[in-house]
Chain A
Amino acid sequence: GAGVSQSPSNKVTEKGKDVELRCDPISGHTALYWYRQSLGQGLEFLIYFQGNSAPDKSGLPSDRFSAERTGGSVSTLTIQRTQQEDSAVYLCASSLGQNPHEKLFFGSGTQLSVL
């Protein structure tokens, strides 16, 4: 079956521009996560959705970052007025969402480069 799909796979943008990153989770998965990974670094948690609601937004690094999820499915991460330090791989993951012990399935990520 289809896995977690992310688009675009690569995005190059100029400093100050807005970008939107999309995540299509595995069908039926109610939990959706956004992480980012800078070169040589671990995964930094950004935000978690259960259904359409985001009980945990604690990881969003600034108010330039926002995310939404509609229909309990697709999620969009928006970064406004991008800065060079936003350059990273943005990873989306989903799980069935029944309990905290479940396996996360990751998408292949969006490589964001801010020039």
Chain B
Amino acid sequence: RKEVEQDPGPFNVPEGATVAFNCTYSNSASQSFFWYRQDCRKEPKLLMSVYSSGNEDGRFTAQLNRASQYISLLIRDSKLSDSATYLCAVNSPNDYKLSFGAGTTVTVRA
């Protein structure tokens, strides 16, 4: 089983829609969780960290469910500029390595 798994999508949504997707992780002792955004042929950039209590940054909401070992990302009021691949990343306990999922592709159409 992979350390981090994501639904690859693609999620095709109209502008203004809400889209949400999950990422599951295999190691129950994982401590740190992140969402990165990667545009086509570009490097990943940190979108947001995911905290135990859940957190929101503008139109983006991240949640952590430790019992079921997944994190989620919800995008409200989607914009064309939200079209990208969203990578989740999970920190392995006791080391600095971030393990990444293969990404979920979101396409927002006009």
Q: A interface vs B, CB < 8 Å?
A: 31, 33, 35, 40-43, 45, 48, 50, 55-56, 59, 91, 95, 97, 100-101, 103-104, 106-109
Complex: chain B residue closest to A44, CB-CB: B100
Task: Report if B99 contacts A (CB, 8 A).
Answer: yes
Q: A31-B96, A100-B91 are in contact. Are A106 and B45 (CB under 8 A)?
A: yes
Docked complex Cα distance between A46 and B7 (Å)? 24
Docked complex Cα distance between A106 and B46 (Å)? 9
Residues of A within 8 A of B45 (CB): 106
Complex: chain B residue closest to A55, CB-CB: B95
Mask of B58-71 contacts with A, CB within 8 angstroms, 1/0: 00000000000000
Q: A42-B102, A42-B103, A101-B32 are in contact. Are A48 and B96 (CB under 8 A)?
A: yes
Q: A42-B100, A42-B102, A100-B31 are in contact. Are A56 and B43 (CB under 8 A)?
A: no
- Shortest distance between the CB of A87 and any CB in chain B (Å): 15
Q: A100-B91, A101-B32 are in contact. Are A56 and B97 (CB under 8 A)?
A: yes
- New A-B contacts (18) at CB < 8 Å, excluding given A42-B103, A100-B96, A108-B42: A33-B98, A42-B4, A42-B6, A42-B100, A43-B87, A43-B100, A48-B95, A48-B96, A55-B95, A91-B44, A97-B96, A100-B95, A103-B46, A104-B46, A106-B43, A106-B44, A106-B45, A107-B43
Docked complex Cα distance between A41 and B85 (Å)? 11
Docked complex Cα distance between A43 and B103 (Å)? 9
Residues of B within 8 A of A91 (CB): 43-44
- Shortest distance between the CB of B93 and any CB in chain A (Å): 9
Residues of A within 8 A of B103 (CB): 42
Residues of A within 8 A of B98 (CB): 33, 45, 104
Docked complex Cα distance between A110 and B91 (Å)? 24
Residues of A within 8 A of B95 (CB): 48, 55-56, 100
Residues of B within 8 A of A107 (CB): 43
